[in-house]
Chain A
């Protein structure tokens, strides 16, 4: 685990996620569906700070976001899992800064997040009629935004931790 989580202002940037989730700009929506801002913030964090920090921060982010929505459906398990997985990928000797890599990772993460929500909705008996439209729209817009957004976050985090690759 790197030291990113020790810097409180770095953690505080996570508050951008619920703010954007509640007031996502219309020009950043696809078919009236906003991107998964949690994925766009968590991916670079976990890549830099490792699996444990990724999982814990993902869980914290999930708790925060679950508090904003009614109903029993939770984003926590998927975000914690994604944080752990991306943290492990960041520890390997694979270059993940390329735009295509970031887009593919965020695409997969968005599918996992949306899939976990749909699974819970299926169990709860509240399967939405627009399930696949929402899933695909959110996945596509998240993957499109991932290269610029995640690159900027990665740059910022690596400037804070010069020793980290």
Chain B
């Protein structure tokens, strides 16, 4: 009797004292059967503050920028060397940054007044570049200011080309935000979306400057087609520009 009673009491005591282990075992079995459900979620919740965040992505972007800048520098060096071999115009000398000190309202003239002038080395004909690409040329200088005639000015005429097809044209300002590209070829093969740049063989402007994108092509115009160009530089939001000296003058 005593032996039988003794054999029953220890198993009950074991059950009473060991229930946490039983729960743990059941939990592990559940995790195993559910392929980690709950456990993985709990781990994710606890470690969320330590996940790779904006800092890591910023490092990656920074490394990517560095890589792109290095490659751009190498390509520009290659470009310079090849242009020298082909006796084409060299890239312009040092660019001068100039603040936009007056921006007359849209009207009869489309121009910017810059806070640098002849004393700082600016000359009539210099290219004016903003973030996004070419915006115009210097039309007049005073000792400390310069007036830049925008590409949208009715008197502006700039030779450009479409890189994809290699076709040249004349970018003519109309007094509206979008100038018109008049092609020299009757059979222009351009299409909306084509990039417009300054010609690689240009002698009046620095080569390969981005100008804009063809927005609309009117093939019915005689004698040659015309295209409306959306300038890539936002003219209304420019506060600083860079002035690139014309060919044969790199006194930077």
Contact = CB atoms under 8 A, between A and B. Distances in A.
Contacts of A117: 108
A95 interface: no
A70 B155 contact: yes
Interface residues of A, number: 26
Nearest to B174: A129
Contacts, number: 65
A129 B155 contact: no
B105 interface: yes
Contacts of A131: 175
Contacts of B155: 70-71, 124, 126
Q: Looking at chain B's contact residues, is the secondary structure mostly helix, strand, loop, or mixed?
A: loop
Interface in B101-116: 102-109, 111, 113
Contact of A134 (B102, B104, B107, B113): B107
Contact of A21 (B104, B139, B154, B174): B104
A121 B105 CA distance: 19
A148 interface: no
A127 B106 CA distance: 15
A131 B174 CA distance: 9
Contacts of A143: none
A29 interface: yes
Contacts of B108: 69, 73, 114, 117, 128, 134
10 contacts: A22-B102, A23-B102, A26-B105, A68-B113, A68-B147, A69-B111, A70-B139, A117-B108, A129-B174, A138-B107
Interface of B: 102-109, 111, 113, 139-140, 147, 149, 153-155, 174-176
